[in-house]
Amino acid sequence: MKCPVCGTSLTQAKYEGVPIYHCLECRGFLASRSRAMGIRHKADRSPEILLDEAKTQLLADTRKTIRCPTCRDLMRKESIPGAAQFKLDVCHRCDLIWFDGGELALFQLAWEASPQGQESAKMQERHQNMSDEERAQLEADIDALPRSSLLGSLLDAFRPPDDGLD
């Protein structure tokens, strides 16, 4: 199966233990909707790792319409919930989602920043377990991002409350 963006052969990979297709060239991921939701509900990658992944792999959001690598139909653009500026490419017939480089990390961060995501017990636990150093590093990473970007405001939403969680 070929990458719908750059045509490179896709590699089978595992992301947080979930089987997924990956393009080593443009760093995109292809997953069924159910697998993507499974990844979103896992908390294997810390917010710091996701931030780093989003920042280093977010090369370009594909603006052109691409074709599903399985059925060749045109894929539809769908906003990432909570990060509407970023568009995923979806094939409804095959129930496949294409994530451009970094978008899978964003997809998870946006979920974790959402009220639903924050209710997740794992997330609460992770916030509580974050050391002062880790918290400071996360805030420094967030401060280093351009304020004007929507990614910046997304990450602001993710900023832990100042008064702590005790």
Give residues in contact with Zn ion (CB under 5 A).
3, 5-6, 8, 23, 25-26, 68, 70-71, 91, 93-94
> 14 has which bridge partners?
19
The nearer residue to Zn ion, 47 or 87, going by C-beta atoms, is 87
In the complex, least distance from residue 85 CB atom to Zn ion, rounded to whole angstroms: 21
The nearer residue to Zn ion, 8 or 124, going by C-beta atoms, is 8
Q: Please give the sequence-ordered ranges of beta strands (E in DSSP) within the chain, or none if there are none.
A: 11-15, 18-22, 29-32, 76-80, 83-91, 96-99
Rounded Cα distance, 47 and 120, in Å: 14
Helix pair 150-158, 103-113: axis angle to 10 deg? 40
In the complex, least distance from residue 34 CB atom to Zn ion, rounded to whole angstroms: 15
In the complex, least distance from residue 56 CB atom to Zn ion, rounded to whole angstroms: 16
The nearer residue to Zn ion, 59 or 136, going by C-beta atoms, is 59
The nearer residue to Zn ion, 25 or 61, going by C-beta atoms, is 25
The nearer residue to Zn ion, 73 or 125, going by C-beta atoms, is 73
99 neighbors 148 (Cβ within 8 angstroms) = no
Q: Is the dihedral angle over the CA atoms 52, 138, 85, 72 positive or is it negative?
A: positive
In the DSSP assignment, the letter for residue 25 is T
In the complex, least distance from residue 3 CB atom to Zn ion, rounded to whole angstroms: 3
